[in-house]
Structure 1
Amino acid sequence: MLLTAFACVLLLAVLLSSLAHRTILSTAALFLVAGFVLGDGVLGVVSITPTDPLVSTLAELALFAVLFTDGMRVGWHDLRSAWRLPGRALGWGLPLTLAVTALGAHYLVGLGWIESLLVGAILAPTDPVFAAALVGNERVPPRLRQLLNVESGVNDGLALPFVILFLAMAAGSGDLHLGELGLELALGVLIGVAIPWLAIKLVQTRWFAASTLYEPLNALAIGLLVLAIAKATHGNLFLAAFCAGITVATFGQHQRESFEHFGELIAELFKLAALLVFGALITPALLGSVGWTGWLFAIGALVLARPIAIWVSFLRSGLSMREQAAVAWFGPKGFASVVYGLLVLGSGIAAAQQVFQLVAITIVASILLHSSTDIVVARGFDDEREVPAWYGRLRGRSNVSDRTAGRG
């Protein structure tokens, strides 16, 4: 039944995609709401529980695909050429957002410090999908669009080690072995760099060459090989995926370009499927059980944590107040946060349900608020607005009168 539901909602999303690009309708919001309506809390068409193996498997594959394609957007050359403003957002904004969010979770909701830091790490990454109208508007300053694109492409991977560390700590001090955790992370980085580099070097030799038909499958094969070896060696899958994407973008520009459209479609399918499952796990009982403090935390995470972090990070940066306000507001909690929340839900830690509830309502609020305001904010940068014909004629007469008076 889940496959049938996903196929139906996907078809509906395709049919409405043109309308979605022109209005506040959001494809992500459509899948989230569809999951909520079809889930056990409302219609009961899609019956799924947090312990269902499908949840963890889908979350794992979806996050791997998204981190791989995210990394492929930002090779080392891109980072070096456009690091000044994104560096502020990532170097200062990300940890500050994490810290302010953690303070809210601890003092408003009463979570322990480790669990609060875990919530902060989960909600720190941003997603440009819900700011598509802003990023895609050519009248928005290029530096602002570049800032949002680079930041959202990198911060998923940067937040990941913090999520892993705090999740391991929340599982219990007796189960936390920093040496093993460090080895897992290091092995993931090594796999993510070495395998793509070797594969690209093989293609560049005179003995091998990919046909035009199979070129898009080159990067896909690299990604699948990274996934398989990381699972076999117990390296961290997600760091391996992110590093592999960056390595392909750095050393295989041709592979990057040929895979770009194909890879985005694959990642998008995984994203939408995970959003449907995520929505099905959110029930009216869950939304009501968080209490007013939980909802206050969610609103604070959106309207205080990110804006405060961005304001501090961009002091004396040269950005105008309007640009800073746009960056501060468009820190939507997107797909990475969804999957991190699903991973926590299936982790078995004592506070898993409470952490998931806070993450869930914050993401729901973010999707609804950010996906419905991106067009409005983007139009604020539209300086060349159309004016009525009578105003143009009146302005023309005024200019003629001014020139005549000047000659007199």
Structure 2
Amino acid sequence: MVPFASVVLITALVGIAAVLSNRLAEWLPVPAPALFLVGAAVASDIRPEWGKIPISAVEHVATVALAIILFDGGMQIGWRRFRSAAGAIVWIGVVGTLVTAAALALAAHLIFGLDWRISLLLGTALAPTDPAVVFSVLGRREISGRSGVLLQGESGANDPVGIALLIVLLGATTFSGGAVARAATEFGLQMLLGAAVGVAGGLGLLWFMRRVPLPAAGLYSLRVLMSALAIYGAATLAHGSGFLAVLVAGIVIGDQNAPYKADIARFHSALANLAEIVVFVLLGLTIQLAGPDGIGQGNAWLIGLVLALLLTMLIRPVLVGILLWKVRLTRGERGFVLWTGLKGAVPILLGTFIVHAGVPDSHRAYEIIFIVVAFSVIVQGGLVPTLARLLGVPLRVVDPEPWGVGVRFRHEPQELHRYRIAPSSAADGSTLADLHAREIWISLIIRNGRLVPTTPDTTLQANDEVLVTLPTPLPPAHITATFTTPIHP
């Protein structure tokens, strides 16, 4: 028992250090994922036995972690936010991933003379962006405006696209016209089946959450977690994209009311943070997959650095910039979106797929992926807050609110609704007496984390959170428009 207790103690201390590193990242210009990455790489160099993890175990753990991250990302987006930029998200999530992968493959082949197959696999592995890294880099800062929805939606949408494309490429033995047509058909079917299972699974899960009570409050979050993993498994067994399915399911339930919904959201946010830590620690520990000599040997580091620079400075700004040409964004928002295409968990997972498949030169490919992800997280991610200020992208600091006062109901309260007052909305600057004249009754106002007394002369301000009591079961459209942005518990 003593050796096992030592392992438990060391693991717990490492976990505490990983959690506290998020606090350290607020003071240093280095994102928290970079600390996990570098710390684990140094640990594996000091204790090489720590890095001797079976590739199949890394693949399985990273798969589950990514499914959790994507499901949480979908819940954070929600259907209403997704619908506001659905066309742009799908357009750059699918087409943007394909053209980025093609450009990276072309660069790897023409500049460094890599074989076409490994070049295509590298390009595909490095094309997707990562929602967990983007918002970890931002910390407590929330992106206002359309660029925030676009970034989060794109990074969620292009992960399943990149994964499905790589799986198709690994299964292809030749690249003749017929093979390309079959690969395109298989890729399209994976996307369609994944989306269909995600919609059906999300609607079924929502019904399950709302209609089937459980004996203990803690079981509600576990039920959603197990259901999300079941949706992933069902979609994968149906030869669809399981990752797309969990993302879509998360979007379907994201802004819908359900029992213990706030608790469920907090639980899955914590799990997604844990999954991010696990994946980046795995990347650092398994750098030995790059080969017996590890990082720094051969020219893999040079290839990775050049590809990272091309991707950041040329490929994404030009190709994705063209795709975003018709999307309504300010010049600053456009530049911010084009810069903030950060790499993270997906390249790690896809790198393990390449190694596990036994593709020639796969170990060097894994090292290249390590270099690109490290550059993206440390350099590109470290400059995100500064660039946002320079480009005038509005960032709102969201301070944690550890204290709460809640009221539980046996049945869903149809007359109560919670809103955040949007700037320049009808409620912004109105008094409670003005709203009472419209039969809108405010029972609670939270401003900057504090309660505000509710008197007829109390004036509402932008970003106030209010609890509204309505005389009718459902709010009419003009009442919702009064506040613009509804918040669902």
Work out whether 1:360 is the aligned partner of 2:370. Answer: yes
1:277 matches 2:282: yes
Pairing 1:313–2:323 present: yes
Residue 51 of structure 2: SS of its match in structure 1? coil
Q: Deviations over 1:192-211 (max 9, x none)?
A: 44444334324444x64676
Q: Distance in 1 between matches of 2:251 and 2:148?
A: 20
Contact 2:125/2:347 (8 A) holds in 1: yes
Contact 2:332–2:392 (CA under 8 A) maintained in structure 1: no
Q: How does 1:341-380 map onto structure 2 within 5 Å?
A: 341-380=351-390
Partner of 2:305: 295
Letter in 1 for 2:69: V
What is the aligned counterpart of 1:48 among 45, 52, 59?
52
Measure how far apart 1:120 and its partner are.
1.9
Q: What are the Cα deviations for residues 255-302 of structure 1, in whole angstroms up to 9, with x where unaligned?
A: 765422211211222221121121122256333321634432232222
Superposed displacement of residue 77, structure 1:
3.7
- Once the two structures are TM-superposed, the CA of residue 5 in structure 1 deviates from its matched residue by 5.6
Query: How high is the sequence identity, in percent, across the aligned residues?
Result: 27
TM superposition shift of 1:136: 5.2
SS at match of 1:333: coil
Aligned to 2:32: 27
Deviations 1:84-119 (A, max 9, x none): 554553355333322221211221232333432322
User: 1:93 is matched with which residue?
Assistant: 96
Match of 2:207 in 1: 201
Say if 1:337 and 1:359, in contact at 8 Å, map to a contact too: yes
Q: What residue identity is the alignment partner of 1:369?
A: V
Whether 2:8 is the aligned partner of 1:11: answer no
* Closer, same or farther: CA 369–142 of 1 in aligned 2, 3 Å: same
Tell me if the contact between 1:9 and 1:34 (Cα under 8 Å) persists in the aligned partners: no
Q: Give the match for residue 322 of structure 1.
A: 332
Equivalent in 115, 119, 122 of residue 116 of structure 1:
119
Contact 2:195/2:245, CA 8 A, preserved across alignment: yes
Distance 1:28 1:3, change over 3 A: farther
Which range moved further: 365-374 or 108-117? Answer: 108-117
| Cα distance change, pair 147–338 in 1 and its aligned pair in 2 (3 A) | same
**Change over 3 Å in CA distance of 1:259–1:231 after alignment to 2:** same
Change in CA separation of 1:76 and 1:146 when aligned onto 2, cut-off 3 Å: closer
Deviates more, 1:83-92 or 1:12-21: 83-92
Question: Which of residues 286, 295, 314 in structure 1 aligns to 2:295?
Answer: 286
Aligned to 1:106: 109
Q: CA shift at 1:29, angstroms?
A: 0.9
Long gaps (5+) in structure 2: 1-5, 395-489
TM-score (norm 1): 0.78
- Superposed CA deviations along residues 22-72 of structure 1, whole A, max 9, x for unmatched, are 432322111111211111x444251315x4432122122112222222333
Once residues 157 and 2 of structure 1 are traced to their aligned partners in structure 2, the CA distance between those partners, rounded to angstroms, is: 35
- Contact kept? 1:184, 1:235, Cα under 8 Å: yes
Quick one: which amino acid aligns to residue 54 of structure 1?
Answer: A
**Residue in structure 2 matching 1:58, options 53, 61, 78:** 61
Q: Structure 2 CA distance, aligned partners of 1:60 and 1:11?
A: 24
- Return the TM-score normalized by structure 2: 0.66
Question: More strand per residue: 1 or 2?
Answer: 2
CA contact (8 A) 1:126 1:333 kept: yes
Q: Is the CA contact (8 Å cut-off) linking 1:130 and 1:370 kept in structure 2?
A: no
For residues 353 and 54 of structure 1, what CA distance do their matches in structure 2 show? 17
Q: Which amino acid aligns with 1:67?
A: L
**Paired letter, 1:379:** R
Aligned to 2:269: 264
Report the Cα offset of residue 134 of structure 1.
4.9
Give, in whole Å, the separation in 2 of the partners of 1:2 and 1:275: 20
Residue aligned with 1:270, SS: helix
SS of aligned partner of 2:163: helix
Change (3 A) 1:296 1:224: closer
Does the CA contact (< 8 Å) of 1:188 and 1:239 recur in 2? yes
* Inter-CA distance 300–220: structure 2 relative to 1 (3 Å threshold): same
Aligned partners of 1:137 and 1:378 also within 8 Å:
no
Task: Give runs of aligned pairs for residues 80-229 of structure 1, distance below 5 A.
Answer: 80-83=83-86, 85-87=88-90, 89-90=92-93, 92-132=95-135, 134=138, 137=141, 141-169=144-172, 189=195, 191-205=197-211, 208=213, 212-227=217-232, 229=234
Distance (Å, rounded) in 2 between the aligned partners of 1:383 and 1:90: 22
Judge conservation of contact 1:341–1:356 (CA < 8 Å) in 2. Answer: yes
**More displaced, 266-275 or 196-205?**
196-205
Report the alpha carbon displacement of residue 363 of structure 1 after superposing the two structures with TM.
0.6
Aligned 8 A contact 1:34 1:279 in 2: yes
Deviation at 1:233, TM superposition (A): 6.6
C-alpha root-mean-square deviation of aligned residues, in Å?
A: 3.7
What's the offset of the Cα at 1:186?
6.2
Task: Report which of the two has the higher share of helix.
Answer: 1
Q: How many residues in Structure 1 have an aligned counterpart in Structure 2?
A: 380
Whole-angstrom distance in 2 between the partners of 1:256 and 1:134: 25
Q: How does 1:236-251 map to 2 (within 5 A)?
A: 237-249=242-254
Higher relative contact order at CA 8 Å, sep ≥6: structure 1 or structure 2?
1
- Letter matched to residue 220 of structure 2: E
Determine if contact 2:51/2:287 at 8 Å carries over to the other structure: no
SS of residue matched to 2:50: coil
Q: Are the equivalent residues in 1 in contact too, given 2:160–2:241 (CA < 8 A)?
A: no
